[in-house]
A and B are shown apart, each in its own frame.
Chain A
């Protein structure tokens, strides 16, 4: 196969944009799994749920991005409810939460999948807006606008979350609960309330991320399975709980996927999981882990 510079250049630019999108999708997991230690396997299912929520509001006449913003508080409440159930049934009892917690989230994932199939059917769904379908031309390169929109919104989510966690009181409390729950309790703060709040925020990011997902590409009910690999790969590669690392890890994954697609698209599904296995075997604390 002859080396094609243009293909490679396109792949890198696309990968960069797509990578920021992957990072945006994984930020919530970085909080839920990275900081709070909740093995949230149903996370990608909530992402797809966000996309279908966006689609539903879109059919009512809303712009997809606006729909994502409208859904954010709904998802915040949903996240808090999820954490309450998880806390009451597993963390509070402290019993064997490993096996049963994982099984619980897997069960939730299937329930969400089937609920989506029952409501929307198995067909692919897509949305359209003024910024979808056109593309920006720079020289000979054409970059679809939908990717640029996803890129910008992704950066906004990442920056907001980063500032929130590092500058605000509650944000710092969330990071404190990740470091030492006992110490926080001694300071007179309630770790469960903080964790619940953080889990709400983690889930809330999925409303907007879900809107991006349906903007970037058509969705289907079982799309969450592909995103188990992508989100966990990004979060583990970044080092648990590192927001800046999440962005870089997302970009690495995006570029790797796009470059491999040049040589054989059928290998693409294995990229995220392959990277994940390599990271786990070689550097389990992640690139930017403590």
Chain B
């Protein structure tokens, strides 16, 4: 897999993001942009386990919320700077991902999914009862002073999210092309056959859980700074769990670009609908698009583009073209 082009594109993207903090004066641009980038990271992280290995994580909001509250707790206790908060969140996320995986990954895939739903509610209840970080009522975050090389706070957080996007996509791209990705795809296609051929299935799944958890928690960490507020009801919100999954499926799970495209498309649609009409309608859009895509375009946008011949670069062939039995 060639990396030169990818890094040039990533560098260009970061330079543009940084430049935009000086050129764009409308804060709404950063408001929407931050949310979109946040979902790109979440969808990409989800896809590492859900797309490559076929294990559906419904607990993205558990990881996201843990990232939010790791940052809140560390900020309140030690006033740690943001990069360290993100790093700490990533460490906690890895541990949480691996621990959840160890508990349930030996079972059939559906049980992993149900366990991750459980994780959301349990962790939310825990945070609601944790007085130090504000409990159910939430907590106000006073932003520390702004580093001098950024003109606005919104701009800085936008760049932070952009950096996390580059990290997440690079990690996903690496995993996809490496032995980990090959192993995960073998698991998705036929776990029993993979195990019999000597693929270390459990270890691979745990690695994927850890990476995916770390990325989800990491993007949670800057969120309280961005909102200037953290409340368990919002941090562990169910749409945070379903949107990344929907975005990955809509974009296409076989290639790393899929979740990125899906996240940009769906989050833009949702933002547009909730600003112009109502937030219920954006939930409806999520539901309808999810159902339509899984029924009519199981390969997602990437699959559609492939069909019309616009997209050829993928090294990974989608697995379920021929009807494979179960």
Closest B residue by C-beta to A33: B110
Type the 1/0 row for B261-288, where 1 means its CB is closer than 8 Å to any CB of A.
0000000000000000000110110111
A96, A98, A118, A267: the one within 8 Å of B319 (CB): A96
Instruction: Check A103/B121 contact, CB under 8 A, given A96-B54, A236-B114.
Output: no
Q: Which of B50, B119, B125 has the largest number of chain A CB atoms within 10 A?
A: B125
**A 240-290 contacts with B by CB, 8 A:** 264, 266-267, 269-270, 273-274, 276-277, 280-281, 284
Residues of A within 8 A of B284 (CB): 110-111, 114
Closest A residue by C-beta to B325: A94
Residues of B within 8 A of A102 (CB): 56, 58, 110, 113
A-B residue pair count with CB separations less than 8 angstroms? 129
Closest A residue by C-beta to B111: A280
Q: Which of A100, A111, A118, A276 has the largest number of chain B CB atoms within 10 A?
A: A100
How many residues of A are counted as interface, with CB atoms below 8 angstroms from the partner's CB atoms? 41
B118 touches A266 (CB 8 A): no
A273 touches B286 (CB 8 A): no
Residues of B within 8 A of A229 (CB): 117-118, 121
| Smallest beta-carbon distance A119→chain B, Å | 11
Residues of A within 8 A of B320 (CB): 95-96
Query: Does any Cβ of B come within 8 Å of A104's Cβ?
Result: yes
A110 touches B283 (CB 8 A): yes
Residues of B within 8 A of A284 (CB): 107, 111
| Smallest beta-carbon distance B119→chain A, Å | 8
A100 to B319: give the CA distance in the assembly, Å. 14
| Smallest beta-carbon distance A186→chain B, Å | 17
Closest B residue by C-beta to A39: B110
Instruction: Check A95/B323 contact, CB under 8 A, given A107-B287, A270-B125.
Output: yes
| Smallest beta-carbon distance B248→chain A, Å | 9
B121, B136, B238, B288: the one within 8 Å of A107 (CB): B288
Query: Does any Cβ of A come within 8 Å of B294's Cβ?
Result: yes
Closest A residue by C-beta to B242: A106
Residues of A within 8 A of B122 (CB): 270, 273-274, 277
Query: Does any Cβ of A come within 8 Å of B221's Cβ?
Result: no
A274 touches B118 (CB 8 A): yes
Closest A residue by C-beta to B117: A228
Closest B residue by C-beta to A86: B295
Closest A residue by C-beta to B106: A284
A104 touches B291 (CB 8 A): yes
Query: Does any Cβ of A come within 8 Å of B103's Cβ?
Result: yes
B104, B129, B288: the one within 8 Å of A280 (CB): B104
Query: Does any Cβ of B come within 8 Å of A97's Cβ?
Result: yes
Query: Does any Cβ of B come within 8 Å of A145's Cβ?
Result: no
A93, A107, A280: the one within 8 Å of B115 (CB): A280
B294 touches A103 (CB 8 A): yes
Q: What 3 A-B pairs are tightest by C-beta distance, nearest first?
A: A110-B287, A107-B290, A273-B118
7 new A-B contacts at CB < 8 Å, known A103-B245, A232-B114, A277-B115: A103-B290, A106-B245, A229-B117, A270-B121, A273-B117, A273-B122, A281-B103
Q: Which A residues lie at the B interface, using CB under 8 A?
A: 39, 85, 89, 93-100, 102-104, 106-111, 113-114, 117-118, 225, 228-229, 232, 236, 264, 266-267, 269-270, 273-274, 276-277, 280-281, 284
Q: List 9 A–B pairs whose Cβ atoms lie within 8 Å, in order of A's numbering.
A: A96-B320, A104-B295, A110-B287, A111-B288, A114-B280, A266-B128, A269-B124, A276-B114, A284-B107
